[in-house]
Structure 1
Amino acid sequence: MKRILLWSLLLCTVNVFAQNFQGKAYYQSKTTMETNWGGRELSEEQKKRIKERMKGFLEKVYILDFGRTASVYKEEEKISAPGQGGGGGFGRMMMGSFTQGRQYKDVQKGVLMESKEFFGKKFLIKDSLPKLEWKMEGETKQIGKYLCFKATALKKVDELDFTSMRRRDRKKDEDKTAEEKKQDSIKAAKDPFSQVEIPKEILVTAWYTLDIPVNQGPGEYWGLPGLILEVNAYKTTILCSKIVMNPEEKDPIEEPTKGQEVTRKEYNEIVKTKMQEMRDMYRGRGGRGGRGGRG
C-alpha cells in the first residue's frame, strides 16, 4: 500500500510539473533586401538611407512563450524611431498598414492561429499547422550554451510573404541598355510591385537543441525533437539570443480570440484585393502627376 501511495504521489508530481512547465525564448529576426529595384543606379548613400528607413520592418525582436505542446510567438513591444518602418510612397503605405499580432500554435491539436490588423480591421486567422518534412543533416554547432543539431526542409512560401521578395527580372542592370533601364524606372514608378516576385518554395535550415525537448520554435517552425534556436530561410535569419526556463512571471499561453475569423486563404484574398485597389489609386495619381509635369 505504501508503494502504491508513493507511486501515485510521484505520478501526480510529474503531471503537475508537466502542466506548469513553461519557457521564454527571445529571438532576433533580420532580413536582407535588395535596394536597386527598378533599374535605377543608386549611390551608396541612397542605399544606406533606404536600409535605415526599412530597418524597423527588416529587423525585429520576438518572444516565444512555450509549454509542452503550445506556444505564443509575438513581437517585442517597442517605440519605433521616426522615419523607420517602410521605404516610402506606396511601399511605405502598404507596409505601415499591417499590424502583427500574436501567433498561437498547438502542435498536439495541429492548430495555428494568428491575430493581425490590416488597414485598421482585426482578423483572426485560423488554419491547420503546416508540417515540414525535416531532413536530419548530422551537423552540430554551439549556440550560446546549447549544443544544436542541423535540419533542413523545403517550405512553400506564403504568397504574401514580403520578406521573401526578389527581383522579377534576373538580367543584371549592367547588361541592360539605357532604354531598358528607363523603362524599368517608369514601370517601378507606376507600380513598385511589378518589379518583384515571391518564390514558390525556399530551403529552410534549422538548428535545434535536445537540451530543451519541446516540439516548438519561432513563428510557424516546429516539428523537431528539441527547441529550434536558429532558422535560416532565404534572406531571413532568426536567432535565439536568450532563454529563461520556468520564469517567475509567466505570460499566458492562450489562443487569441479577437478579430474576424478567417482562413489563411481568405485573409490573403482580402489583402490582395485591397492591394490592387491601392495600386490602381497610386498608379492613377502617378499618371496625373506625370501629365501635369510634362504640361
Structure 2
Amino acid sequence: MKSSVLKFTLVAIILFISLNNYAQKFQGKAVYVSKSKMELGNWGAKLSEAQKKQIQARLKNRLEKTYVLTFNNTESMFLEEEQIDAISGATDTWGAYFSRGDQYKNIQNSKLVQSQEFYGKRFLVKDDLYKIKWELGTETKKIGNYLCYKAKAFVPKKELDWYDFSWSDLRNKEKTGMAKEDLVVVEAWYTTQIPVAQGPGEYWGLPGLILEVSRGNTTLLCSEIIINPEDKITIELLSKGKETTKKEYTATIQKKMVEMRENRMGRRRSR
C-alpha cells in the first residue's frame, strides 16, 4: 500500500514538473486583422454611393488594420503594422495620434505599459490592467483549426479607448464637467487549446487565447497563429518616453486639443 502511494506521489511530482516546464516555455505569435464599419451618420445620407466609396478608400487605413501579438504565459506585446495610405502613398500621421501605441501587458502582476506619441512627444503610459469581468457562455464555433467558446462582458468605454479622443467627447466633458460613463458590450471567442489568458489589446483574462473580439462596429479576428516557433520570442519591456498614467495622459492630450482649438479660432478672428 505504501509502495503504491509513493509511486503515485512520484508520478504526480514528475507530471507537475513537466507541466510547469511546458508552461514556462510556452510562447507564440498571433496575427489579428481589425475591421471597422464606416459610420457617416445623417451627413452620409446626402452622399452618393461613389462618394461613399471614395471616403471609404481614403479611410481604409483607419478601418482596416493588422496587429501582431507575441505572448507567453505571463507577458505579451501587441504591435500595429505600419499602414500606407491607399491614395496618397503616405503614412496616416493624423490617425496615428489617436491610435493604440505599442502595448506591453504582464497579466501575472496586472501591469500595462504602453508607448504613445503626440505631436513629436513620446509618452510611456504605466498603469494597472483593467480586469474584465467575463461571463462565460456555452456557445462554440471553429476559428481556423481551433474550437472556441464565447464570452461576454460590459466594459467602461474609457478603459478601452483611453488613448483615443474626439472633439465630441471633449465638448461633452466641457459641458457637463465630466467624461460620459458609457458601458460597451464586448463579445470574445477564446480557445482552451491554447491555454494562456492572453488576448489582443485590452482584452485578456479568459481561460484560453482570445482569437476574436468584437465591440461596437469593430472586430479583431486572428488570421494566423504560430505556437512555440523555432526562433525564441523575446518580449522586452518598453522604456522610452515620459512616464505617466492613463488618467494623466488623457488630461494632457485633452488640454493640448483645447489649445489647438483656441489657436485655430484665434487665427480665424485675425483674418
TM-score scaled by length of structure 2: 0.81
Name the aligned partner's letter for residue 150 of structure 2. K
Matched residue of 1:222: which SS? coil
Instruction: Output the CA distance in 2 between the equivalents of 1:76 and 1:222.
Output: 21
Name the aligned partner's letter for residue 230 of structure 1. E
* 8 Å Cα contact 2:124-2:240 kept in structure 1: yes
**Residue 204 in 1 paired to residue 209 in 2?**
no
Q: Identify the residue that residue 107 of structure 1 maps to in structure 2.
A: 107
Q: Relative to structure 1, is the Cα distance of residues 222 and 80 closer, same or farther in structure 2, using a 3 angstrom cutoff?
A: same
**Residue 232 in 1 paired to residue 214 in 2?**
yes
**Residue 219 in 1 paired to residue 193 in 2?**
no
* 8 Å Cα contact 1:102-1:114 kept in structure 2: yes
Counterpart among 64, 69, 72 of residue 67 in structure 1: 72
Instruction: Output the CA distance in 2 between the equivalents of 1:58 and 1:283.
Output: 30
Instruction: Output the CA distance in 2 between the equivalents of 1:5 and 1:39.
Output: 69
Q: Identify the residue that residue 25 of structure 2 maps to in structure 1.
A: 20
Q: Relative to structure 1, is the Cα distance of residues 12 and 133 closer, same or farther in structure 2, using a 3 angstrom cutoff?
A: closer
Matched residue of 2:206: which SS? coil
Q: Relative to structure 1, is the Cα distance of residues 161 and 260 closer, same or farther in structure 2, using a 3 angstrom cutoff?
A: closer
**Aligned 1:237-252 pairs, distance under 5 A:** 237-252=219-234
Name the aligned partner's letter for residue 148 of structure 2. C
**Residue 53 in 1 paired to residue 58 in 2?**
yes
Name the aligned partner's letter for residue 203 of structure 1. V
* 8 Å Cα contact 2:162-2:246 kept in structure 1: no
Name the aligned partner's letter for residue 32 of structure 1. K
Matched residue of 2:102: which SS? strand
Deviations 1:2-50 (A, max 9, x none): x999998876655443322211011000112312465872222222111
Deviations 1:210-262 (A, max 9, x none): 10110010001011100000001111100001100011223421221111110
Instruction: Output the CA distance in 1 between the equivalents of 2:77 and 2:147.
Output: 24
Q: How big is the shift at 1:70?
A: 1.1
Q: Relative to structure 1, is the Cα distance of residues 262 and 12 closer, same or farther in structure 2, using a 3 angstrom cutoff?
A: same
Deviations 1:124-177 (A, max 9, x none): 1111000111111211111111111011000111265659x7999xxxxxxxxx
Query: Unaligned stretches of 5+ in structure 2?
Result: 1-6
Name the aligned partner's letter for residue 42 of structure 1. L
Name the aligned partner's letter for residue 51 of structure 2. Q
RMSD: 3.3
Name the aligned partner's letter for residue 251 of structure 2. E
Q: Relative to structure 1, is the Cα distance of residues 148 and 237 closer, same or farther in structure 2, using a 3 angstrom cutoff?
A: same
User: In percent, how many aligned pairs have the same letter?
Assistant: 46
**Residue 137 in 1 paired to residue 119 in 2?**
no
Name the aligned partner's letter for residue 31 of structure 2. Y
Q: Identify the residue that residue 120 of structure 1 maps to in structure 2.
A: 120
Name the aligned partner's letter for residue 238 of structure 1. L
Instruction: Output the CA distance in 2 between the equivalents of 1:17 and 1:61.
Output: 29
Q: Relative to structure 1, is the Cα distance of residues 109 and 47 closer, same or farther in structure 2, using a 3 angstrom cutoff?
A: same
Q: Identify the residue that residue 3 of structure 2 maps to in structure 1.
A: none
Q: Identify the residue that residue 178 of structure 1 maps to in structure 2.
A: none
Matched residue of 1:269: which SS? helix
TM-score scaled by length of structure 1: 0.75
Instruction: Output the CA distance in 1 between the equivalents of 2:225 and 2:94.
Output: 34
Q: Identify the residue that residue 46 of structure 2 maps to in structure 1.
A: 41
Instruction: Output the CA distance in 2 between the equivalents of 1:166 and 1:228.
Output: 32
* 8 Å Cα contact 1:29-1:239 kept in structure 2: yes
Instruction: Output the CA distance in 1 between the equivalents of 2:48 and 2:270.
Output: 29
Instruction: Output the CA distance in 2 between the equivalents of 1:63 and 1:218.
Output: 8
Matched residue of 1:42: which SS? coil
* 8 Å Cα contact 1:138-1:150 kept in structure 2: yes
* 8 Å Cα contact 2:61-2:83 kept in structure 1: no
Matched residue of 2:207: which SS? coil
Aligned positions, number: 255
Counterpart among 223, 248, 261 of residue 243 in structure 2: 261
Matched residue of 2:203: which SS? coil
Name the aligned partner's letter for residue 58 of structure 2. R
